[in-house]
Amino acid sequence: MSGTTFQLEERGGLHVLRLRSTDGTNRLTRECVLRLTDAVNLLAGEGEPIVLAGNDRFFSAGAELEEISLLDGPSAYEFSKMGQALMHDGEAPSVCRASLAKDAPLKCS
């Protein structure tokens, strides 16, 4: 598995949660999605925009298929709902998703 984690960067009034993995694909596991969701919910209370960013190639290759292949139907559906909630959570003040170089200028609209 890719072992995707993330780090928090503060850039010009934005909270940037940048995905990191040893192979550069930033595949999402259930644990990573849960941790990202917790971080977004925590940061949302501060009222600043939140950017979910990947590396300079792309945001994420998607779900970690090795992990997903081991799930039964209901568990796979639950995982898909977790990812959807993370990406479409209406509670966050402003959440952008981006694939950009570490020093690239950020624009959140």
Q: Name all domains of the chain by residue range, CATH numbers in brackets.
A: 5-98 (3.90.226.10)
Q: In which residue ranges of the chain is pLDDT below 70?
A: 1-2, 89-109
pLDDT tens-digit series, residues 17-26 = 999 999 999 9
The answer to whether the pTM exceeds 0.85 is no
Q: Give pLDDT, residue 106.
A: 56
The b-or-e profile of 80-105 (16+ CB within 10 A means b, else e) is: eebbeebeeeeebeebbeebbeeeee
Q: Give pLDDT, residue 97.
A: 58
Judge whether 64 and 83 are in contact, CB under 8 Å.
Answer: no
Q: Give pLDDT, residue 95.
A: 63
